[in-house]
Amino acid sequence: MFPDSKIPEGPLAEKWDKHKFNVKLVNPANKRKYDVIVVGTGLAGASAAASLAELGYNVKAFTFHDSPRRAHSIAAQGGINAAKNYQNDGDSVFRLFYDTIKGGDYRAREANVYRLAQVSVNIIDQCVAQGVPFAREYGGLLANRSFGGAQVSRTFYARGQTGQQLLLGAYSALSRQVAYGKVKLYTRSEMLDVVVVDGQARGIITRNLITGEIEQHAAHAVVLATGGYGNVFYLSTNAMYCNVTAAWRAHKRGAYFANPCFTQIHPTCIPVSGDYQSKLTLMSESLRNDGRVWVPKTVETAERIRKGQLKASDVPEEDRDYFLERKYPAFGNLVPRDVASRNAKQMCDEGRGVGSTGLAVYLDFADIIKRTGAEAVAQKYGNLFDMYAKITDENPYQEPMRIYPAVHYTMGGLWVDYNLQTTIPGLYATGECNFSDHGANRLGASALMQGLADGYFVIPYTIGDYLAQTPPKPVTTDHPAFKQTEAEVRARVQKLMSINGTRTPDDFHKHLGHLMWEYCGMARNAEGLRYAKAEIQKLRKEFWSDLKLTGTENELNQALEKAGRVADFIELGELMVDDALDRNESCGGHFREEFATEEGEAKRDDENYAYVAAWQYVGENQPEILNKEQLVFENVKLTQRSYK
């Protein structure tokens, strides 16, 4: 039987308020008797750790970075959505809810998404009070801009560095609690397993990355805020250290993994330039407010550009195809990410791609520069233009940017109920590492919103419900489960160190990434997926027999860290392929070539696939069990998504 998703009864708009009243409370004097572990210090983790500490719980916060401020939330560029309706343009909680459900191609839970839209307004208040310097108008009030998949202006921003400013806000709140002694901070500590005592999460095992020491930590509850798994593709816009290990270890201890194949390919990234490339850089979606996407109308013109015989700016207007504006007049360049990405790929597949590789389309600012001047454009997007120029050695004020889709975000993640609790009691997942709010496709500026919603305004309430039912007795690491789990972690580290083969962790990672991108990337089909599955299984065997490491496990050893993460990525990769194979429909970021409309748009199958696929680990080398959570839509009508 599927675990209860605990969605409260009653009308959509009243569910969260009612639930907040119905959950059990821990009285203020008792809160200090409870310890909570928070793993990860990005938006979801830092906000949760700070808020829980403010309430009085004793928090231990873990990050593998040298400082909480390095978490990858810092790199989010464009903005954060909130249903403030400051622009008087018809926004509302219901509209943000509706846009998010529709943008997610009807594969998210109504109740979760509605709550997200509700608390979005509190997030902005919270961040402003912390001193987050959002962009403002001359009258001193907050400015907004538009993002994909919405026809209102509801995105709050701090130039192209919104994630940085929000994270530094959460980091400051966290730092304050560290100073008060309510949060104990463990930096350069990587979580390598979760400890389950009598069916409940009671702690974690970590490795101190500087000394190599393996440590046990106990608590009454554990919150994972460990981010997404986009780096399974090797090349992505994620930071180099982003990985699935914490979530995957929890999965292998009993937490279901939901919709792993729902990955987001972001349309506007700087194209790959060579085999040495270590990561891809995003150009914020906000650029699509003013940038126009185009390719040459003919293959011949595109060829001349690729050979360097013709400059983009010299292509006359009539020879350009502004394909998004042409195909989607209502949303134009601001169609959702999955639609924009697929169309860019289609143009390149037709031979109309640009750049020396032919795997790029243009994002052109000539019009806005003509209309408002280069200075006004620099005001809005200066840091992005500079970044582009540094990486490509080209001036985007003069020539259009070249962009191509790249892996950016993972909608899938640990399955959680309405309380954000996984299928292991006492183990919670927040932010990108859970699956909860974005369905099959996330809208721009919604990741920051979800991370902070979970951390500031959801988990502080819902975790209390669990703790109130847990006796306030001190927890210790005395239980044999700690010793047992630690021994398993040690054995695994030693096994990695002792293989003594020939291939480096990066080599395996690149190999895996290539398989995932080719066969489980922007477009998928059953044949390719089956091929990929067999190849990944081979790769896994090779990994465990031919891995090369040097040094020891008792010191800073970055190759060893990487190896552990790659090992988990390989296992996850296989599950992603299984999930993509199971889902015989196209929806959002999951595009199966066999299931498309005549116009090439994603064709959903609501009758058979309106479910969350929650995978259950049952043992080494055994196929995982698929559990289905049926999605119920009572407030929106399921329609073919149209942005025309």
Partner 1 sequence: MAGSNPNAKPMNLTLKVWRQKNRNTQGSIVDYQVKDISPDMSFLEMLDVLNEDLLRKGEEPVAFDHDCREGICGSCNLFINGRAHGPESGTTTCQLHMRKFNDGDTITIEPWRAAAFPVNKDLSVDRSAFDRIIQAGGYVSINTGGTPDANEIPIPKQIADRAFEAATCIGCGACVASCKNASAMLFVSAKVSQLALLPQGHVERKTRVENMVAQMDKEGFGACTNIGSCAAECPVGISLENIAILNQEFLLAKATSNNLA
Helix locations, 133-188, DSSP H: 162-180
How far apart are alpha carbons 445 and 585 in whole angstroms?
27
How far apart are alpha carbons 130 and 221 in whole angstroms?
27
Counting residues that bind partner 1 (by CB under 8 A) gives 89
Q: Which of 98, 241, 397, 531 binds partner 1 (CB under 8 A)?
A: 241
Site string for partner 1, 68-107 (x = CB under 8 A): xxxxx-xx--------x-x---------------------
- For residue 469, the minimal CB distance to partner 1 (Å) is 23
Q: What is the largest CA-CA distance in the chain?
A: 75
Closest CA to 448 of 85, 106, 74, 172: 74
- For residue 139, the minimal CB distance to partner 1 (Å) is 7
**Range 509-548, binding partner 1 (CB under 8 A):** 548
Q: Which of 27, 88, 502, 622 binds partner 1 (CB under 8 A)?
A: 502
- Supply the DSSP string of 319-373, one letter for each residue: GEE-HHHHH-TTTGGGS-HHHHHHHHHHHHHTT---STTS--EEEE-HHHHHHH-
CA 602 to chain centre: 21
**Range 543-602, binding partner 1 (CB under 8 A):** 548-551, 555-556, 558-559
Closest CA to 231 of 542, 516, 437, 438: 516
- For residue 471, the minimal CB distance to partner 1 (Å) is 27
How far apart are alpha carbons 641 and 84 in whole angstroms?
25
- For residue 449, the minimal CB distance to partner 1 (Å) is 14
- For residue 55, the minimal CB distance to partner 1 (Å) is 9
Which among 177-185, 520-528, 578-586, 629-637 is the span making contact with partner 1, rule CB under 8 A?
Answer: 177-185
Q: Is 67 in the site for partner 1 (CB under 8 A)?
A: yes
Q: In Å, how far are 132, 329, 557 from 560, measured between CA atoms?
A: 38, 51, 5
Task: Output the CA torsion sign for 352, 354, 360, 363.
Answer: negative
Q: Is 240 in the site for partner 1 (CB under 8 A)?
A: yes
- For residue 255, the minimal CB distance to partner 1 (Å) is 26
Q: Which of 200, 357, 537, 635 binds partner 1 (CB under 8 A)?
A: 357
Task: Output the CA torsion sign for 284, 269, 388, 41.
Answer: positive
How far apart are alpha carbons 416 and 428 in whole angstroms?
7
Task: Output the CA torsion sign for 143, 144, 145, 151.
Answer: negative
- Supply the DSSP string of 526-564, one letter for each residue: HHHHHHHHHHHHHHHHHHHHHB---S-SSS--HHHHHHH
Closest CA to 209 of 188, 227, 183, 232: 188
Site string for partner 1, 421-460 (x = CB under 8 A): -----------------------------------xx--x
**Range 41-60, binding partner 1 (CB under 8 A):** 47, 50-51, 54
- Which is closer to partner 1, CB of 38 or CB of 255? 38
Q: Which of 201, 221, 387, 453 binds partner 1 (CB under 8 A)?
A: 387
**Range 187-216, binding partner 1 (CB under 8 A):** 187, 210
Which among 239-247, 256-264, 580-588, 605-613 is the span making contact with partner 1, rule CB under 8 A?
Answer: 239-247
- Which is closer to partner 1, CB of 220 or CB of 402? 402
Q: Which of 150, 152, 173, 520 binds partner 1 (CB under 8 A)?
A: 173
Q: Which of 85, 153, 164, 441 binds partner 1 (CB under 8 A)?
A: 164
Active site residue 337: yes
How far apart are alpha carbons 219 and 204 in whole angstroms?
9
Helix locations, 218-295, DSSP H: 245-252
How far apart are alpha carbons 543 and 67 in whole angstroms?
31
**Range 252-271, binding partner 1 (CB under 8 A):** none
Which among 137-145, 192-200, 337-345, 432-440 is the span making contact with partner 1, rule CB under 8 A?
Answer: 137-145
Q: Is 501 in the site for partner 1 (CB under 8 A)?
A: no
Question: Of the listed 69, 306, 337, 540, which one is catalytic?
Answer: 337
Q: Which of 11, 28, 274, 474 binds partner 1 (CB under 8 A)?
A: 274
Find the length of the chain.
Answer: 644
Q: Which of 9, 198, 275, 620 binds partner 1 (CB under 8 A)?
A: 275
Q: Which residues are catalytic?
A: 337
